[in-house]
Chains A and B, each alone.
Chain A
């Protein structure tokens, strides 16, 4: 099949899913509870995919993703609530500021490797959270009132844009460069790839979409508090990526959907939820350290009959 045909096939499928759900929402077949779950699912997919480009594609172990989520959430909330801007502008602003934060954090820290990078990004995320905790303009610890403006349309198109951009980036020349950095940083440096440039670029793109998710997250509830962006949130996002497979875009999406459904049903038992999460995390790492899907995509699994498959 020609590549453009595949693309249009997916585009029609996506629009069909959107239209069906939208019709079901407007006729009341999906009630408020499930609508909320769908939006949470979309936010989680965006977060998983945006972290996937940093950890799965570029191989940079960042565990401070909640920090960029917080930047996107707070900046967009400031734009709508304090400056009176329309919601789409606020989404864009949240994403842009998160990307700037990503650049700011990425340029100094991406010289570090492995564990040190992990702990430094965790530290940066905590610093971001503490800054929001101490700024009275955004309500400090008490939190900030935000109107409910996110709906299925914003959430769905957020996911669509995120997945589209990140999958296209992965399959481009730049994405290949990032993958080579994941496989062997020193060798790809020797091959003439500007490793710092690509690491920072992937980091900034990841932060951009985390900010986008943050903007939708902020306007999905009525109050925004810094406690929502601690390291538990970062670990939650990390779990999506790891469980789905380090390096698999569809894997992270499936894990995000699956875990959102599970945690929605376990909402009444938060301890049990975390025990299950952590056990799953340990067992997956012990028996399948590359995650459930590895670096495979769902499309690879569907065409196992054909030798070699279509050339991307």
Chain B
């Protein structure tokens, strides 16, 4: 039953990646920018959750909602201040700005509170359920249920609401959407808000599950979430979820086989393989390049 145990761990990790990847894929789908600062919004979410639970003694769900809301605001501020001017600039300029924003967030946090890690408070008594010989902790169940609820919510927003329809229209063709009377700027801001809220939620559940957070924690999960988004096909929401889960499971398997130091390399090997073999991702269709 060892492998089922690992599978459960992998899915827990993978659903965190999936939540971050959703924000990446939505932002990339709409303005074609790798938002490097997304991993740092994830970190901010974890810290907001930490302060909410440890200092202001909120309960878990309240803290989760607060982290999501604050992260949404931060995401919109980042977009309005740093990225809005660069919509028509070169891709390289936009990407470098994103790297700059990422470094700025990390080192501002370090400047104010130091780079020492923080131990997350326990919000639920650690209890293991024994299901057919597999130990499943409350934390794993929590992560899974929060992720699933958020993903269902996202699917609902994107496919059933007006703003979701506007987002899909802008990502398909921003100019045509503008002609049809869609406010493109507001739609892009809404995309950033939703994506950042998901990253904030991922930060809180990451903190609860791994119990250790620090100001540079966003860098690697951020990059891996991007790998997950590419793996599933960038711009495609179910693709990001699948990519995240696959990546989480692969990483856990690599660790379980005794190569835990190679775990981070595995994600990048997957990235390079997918980029070379199937650049559109698992769910993507290959499109011909227009000249």
The yes or no verdict on A and B being binding partners is: yes
- Chain A interface (Cβ within 8 Å of chain B)? 55, 61, 63, 108-109, 111-112, 114-116, 118-120, 122-124, 126-127, 130-131, 133-134, 186, 231, 235, 238, 242, 246, 271-272, 274-275, 277-279, 281-282, 285-286, 289
> Mostly helix, strand, loop or mixed at chain A's interface?
helix
Is A115 touching B91 in the complex (CB atoms < 8 A)? yes
Is A61 touching B103 in the complex (CB atoms < 8 A)? no
Asked if B153 CB lies within 8 Å of chain A CBs, one says: no
How many chain B residues have a CB neighbour from A under 8 Å? 45
Minimum C-beta distance from B279 to chain A (A) = 7
Is A279 touching B104 in the complex (CB atoms < 8 A)? yes
Write out the residue numbers on chain A whose beta carbons fall within 8 Å of the beta carbon of B226. Answer: 119
Considering residues A274, A278, A279, which has the most beta carbons from chain B within 10 angstroms of its beta carbon?
Answer: A278
Is B271 touching A278 in the complex (CB atoms < 8 A)? no
CB < 8 Å neighbour of A186 from B223, B267, B291: B291
Write out the residue numbers on chain B whose beta carbons fall within 8 Å of the beta carbon of A285. Answer: 86, 89, 93-94, 96-97, 100
Is B82 touching A282 in the complex (CB atoms < 8 A)? yes
Is B34 touching A120 in the complex (CB atoms < 8 A)? no
Is B103 touching A277 in the complex (CB atoms < 8 A)? yes
Docked Cα-Cα span, A95 to B96, in Å, equals 28
Query: Can you list 17 A-B contacts (CB < 8 A)?
Result: A61-B91, A109-B275, A112-B275, A115-B32, A120-B271, A123-B223, A123-B271, A271-B110, A272-B111, A278-B100, A278-B104, A281-B97, A282-B82, A282-B100, A285-B89, A286-B85, A289-B90
> Are A278 and B101 CB-contacts (below 8 A) given A115-B91, A120-B272?
yes
- Specify the chain A residue showing the minimal Cβ separation from B85: A286
Write out the residue numbers on chain A whose beta carbons fall within 8 Å of the beta carbon of B264. Answer: 126, 130
Write out the residue numbers on chain B whose beta carbons fall within 8 Å of the beta carbon of A231. Answer: 219
- Specify the chain A residue showing the minimal Cβ separation from B270: A123
Asked if B95 CB lies within 8 Å of chain A CBs, one says: yes
Interchain Cβ contacts within 8 Å, total number:
113
Is B275 touching A116 in the complex (CB atoms < 8 A)? yes
Known: A111-B276, A116-B275, A186-B291. 16 other contacts (CB 8 A): A116-B279, A118-B34, A119-B34, A122-B223, A123-B267, A131-B265, A134-B261, A235-B103, A271-B107, A277-B103, A278-B101, A278-B102, A279-B100, A286-B85, A289-B89, A289-B90
Write out the residue numbers on chain A whose beta carbons fall within 8 Å of the beta carbon of B265. Answer: 126-127, 130-131
Asked if B108 CB lies within 8 Å of chain A CBs, one says: yes
Write out the residue numbers on chain A whose beta carbons fall within 8 Å of the beta carbon of B219. Answer: 231
Docked Cα-Cα span, A118 to B95, in Å, equals 9
Docked Cα-Cα span, A134 to B93, in Å, equals 35
Asked if B141 CB lies within 8 Å of chain A CBs, one says: no
Write out the residue numbers on chain A whose beta carbons fall within 8 Å of the beta carbon of B99. Answer: 63, 235, 238, 281
What 1/0 flags go to B183-197 for Cβ under 8 Å of A? Answer: 000000000000000
Asked if B156 CB lies within 8 Å of chain A CBs, one says: no
Minimum C-beta distance from B91 to chain A (A) = 5
> Are A242 and B96 CB-contacts (below 8 A) given A282-B101, A286-B86?
yes
Asked if B1 CB lies within 8 Å of chain A CBs, one says: no
Is B107 touching A120 in the complex (CB atoms < 8 A)? no
Is B262 touching A124 in the complex (CB atoms < 8 A)? no
Minimum C-beta distance from B212 to chain A (A) = 19
Is A238 touching B271 in the complex (CB atoms < 8 A)? no
Docked Cα-Cα span, A109 to B99, in Å, equals 21
Docked Cα-Cα span, A143 to B264, in Å, equals 19
Docked Cα-Cα span, A187 to B268, in Å, equals 32
CB < 8 Å neighbour of B276 from A108, A131, A289: A108
Is B111 touching A123 in the complex (CB atoms < 8 A)? no
Asked if B236 CB lies within 8 Å of chain A CBs, one says: no
> Are A286 and B97 CB-contacts (below 8 A) given A231-B219, A271-B107, A281-B103?
yes
- Specify the chain A residue showing the minimal Cβ separation from B93: A289
Docked Cα-Cα span, A282 to B36, in Å, equals 13
Write out the residue numbers on chain A whose beta carbons fall within 8 Å of the beta carbon of B93. Answer: 285, 289
Is A275 touching B108 in the complex (CB atoms < 8 A)? yes
- Specify the chain A residue showing the minimal Cβ separation from B289: A186
Write out the residue numbers on chain A whose beta carbons fall within 8 Å of the beta carbon of B82. Answer: 282, 286
- Specify the chain A residue showing the minimal Cβ separation from B261: A134
CB < 8 Å neighbour of B107 from A127, A246, A274: A274
Minimum C-beta distance from B280 to chain A (A) = 11
- Specify the chain B residue showing the minimal Cβ separation from A241: B96
- Specify the chain A residue showing the minimal Cβ separation from B106: A274
Write out the residue numbers on chain A whose beta carbons fall within 8 Å of the beta carbon of B107. Answer: 271, 274-275, 278
- Specify the chain B residue showing the minimal Cβ separation from A279: B104
Is A275 touching B104 in the complex (CB atoms < 8 A)? yes
Docked Cα-Cα span, A11 to B95, in Å, equals 38
Minimum C-beta distance from B264 to chain A (A) = 6
Docked Cα-Cα span, A111 to B55, in Å, equals 51
